[in-house]
Structure 1
């Protein structure tokens, strides 16, 4: 327990030999030191996660987490230890203001990566939506860039349309031939049952249409097969280009992308916006807590003894300075006297 107490004293930036002489102050500085320590610990977790999203490496993240946590811990310890309790409250608040601003900046930096972790599922969903949109945009761009496929598809459809028209014409002649044989009266038939002259003419027309259709199918199918092969080649090229873009789309998961996704979520959801605000305020409260504790608590015995020690050093320096000046003046006068006495 004593080791833990001494460790938190160290975290608070207090001068331990003086603090031991003021037992009533020990718990206060244990609390201040604990706040500084856990702020550094949260900063370490936050910084480690932020770097993990950038490099996707647990070892880089651990190394950076340790360095970042120690840096924030050292800064907080310096801020708290540099604040001295005086008898002038206004002077204390004026000196604390720059430190409060700096603490708020640190709180914002620390809280942001943890917000990304807290809303990780929502951010992943937003990133998936963004990736889907990017894939669709890439495909549209590639489709416009490979317009040859559309031209070939149009040619293929035109050939199929010609075949369909030939089939429709053949079917029309087939219907007229059947009506002529069975005596169905229409504008194109005589209405006489049997294979008469008109029926034979209709049969000849039907045979000619069928031959034309068969020839058209053969010729057009060759062209369609050739077009299909060209389309296949162009499609392979387009797919290759898309595969070059795909790693960039799949890798759209960095820190900047997640920050952007969190910003979009905050704009689109009031609950997430308020949650982000409360998380930020929580870290601001944690980061500024040691400073406010130092400002709010009354001046205690430790502060009295610390001021006395500093004043003793100041007086000692003034005495030594006075002695040096007087000694120097005396030596100058003695030297001047010797010069006057010399022939």
Structure 2
């Protein structure tokens, strides 16, 4: 137990020999040191998971996690040990404010990878949806690339079919007119097969012959254009087949997926905020404990030690200045006598 206590006191950045002269402060600084240690441990897990997400390298994740955790631990230890109790709270708060801002930034950084781990299943489902959207967008772009040619060919095919249809309507109309002339229901209103009927029948036969030619010519063109459409469709499918279908699984994609989840779901949004606030609370706890705790014996001893050092430094500087001035006066006197 003593080893744990000594280790946590080391984590708090306290001066242990001086703290032994104020044993009542041991529990306070031991708690501060434990908070700093576990914050660094969480940072190590967070950094390791973040690197694993990006590079999928177990050894790299372990090494980076250890380095990241030690860096956060050392930074937190410096932040807390650099704070000193003063006689005025506002003065202390003003000095602690930059440290609080830095602690909040650190908390946000180390909480984000762990948030990704907490919502991993939901994020994986969202990534599948995002992949499908990306693939659909890629396919739509390929389709748009060939769409103008397809529209042009379809328009030409429709025009050729319309030419056949119009000629067929004309043939049917002329044949009906000839038939009505023959049976007396139209034209001259006389039932006969005379010259008028023969002329109208000739017009109908001529139109029918033209329909046959138009059907043959347009049919050949339509078949040609349909082959072109089939070729374009084959090219489009082969182009779609060469598209990148790799899975979206990077850190940025997971952050984007988490953003989509928080935008759509209020529970996920609040859970995300609570996790971040939890880490902010853990990260800023040592600073707040040091800030709101009353001035204790250790703070008095530390201030007395610093004050004694300041006085010693001033005395040393004054002695050096007096010695320097004395040497200068001796040198000037020697110069005048000579």
Q: Which TM-score bucket, shorter chain as reference?
A: 0.7 to 0.9
Say whether the 8 Å CA contact 2:50–2:113 is kept in structure 1: yes
Q: 5 Å matches for 1:121-270?
A: 121-147=121-147, 237-247=235-245, 250-270=246-266
- Counterpart CA distance in 2 for 1:318 and 1:102 is 34
Q: Which residue matches 1:311?
A: 307
Partner deviation per Cα, 1:106-130 (whole Å, 9 max, x = no partner):
1111111111111111111111111
- Counterpart CA distance in 1 for 2:47 and 2:225 is 57
Distance 1:154 1:54, change over 3 A: farther
TM-score, normalization by structure 1 = 0.73
- What is the SS of the residue equivalent to 1:245? coil
- Number of aligned residue pairs: 291
Matched, 1:59 2:55: no
* Consecutive unaligned residues in structure 1, runs of 5 or more: 158-219
- What is the SS of the residue equivalent to 1:26? helix
Deviates more, 1:226-235 or 1:122-131: 226-235
Distance 1:126 1:86, change over 3 A: same
User: How far is the alpha carbon of 1:51 from its aligned partner?
Assistant: 1.9
- Counterpart CA distance in 1 for 2:229 and 2:7 is 74
Partner deviation per Cα, 1:182-231 (whole Å, 9 max, x = no partner):
xxxxxxxxxxxxxxxxxxxxxxxxxxxxxxxxxxxxxx9xx98x999987
Distance 1:85 1:255, change over 3 A: same
- Counterpart CA distance in 2 for 1:232 and 1:6 is 80
Matched, 1:287 2:268: no
Distance 1:244 1:70, change over 3 A: farther
Moved over 6 A (4+): 148-157, 226-233
Q: Which residue matches 1:105?
A: 105
Partner deviation per Cα, 1:227-256 (whole Å, 9 max, x = no partner):
999877656643443243233xx3322122
Matched, 1:320 2:316: yes
Q: Which residue matches 1:94?
A: 94
| Residue number among 273, 278, 301 corresponding to 2:274 in the alignment | 278
Distance 1:44 1:296, change over 3 A: same
- What is the SS of the residue equivalent to 1:126? helix
The alignment's C-alpha RMSD in Å is: 3.4
User: How far is the alpha carbon of 1:32 from its aligned partner?
Assistant: 0.5
* Consecutive unaligned residues in structure 2, runs of 5 or more: 159-218
Say whether the 8 Å CA contact 2:127–2:248 is kept in structure 1: yes
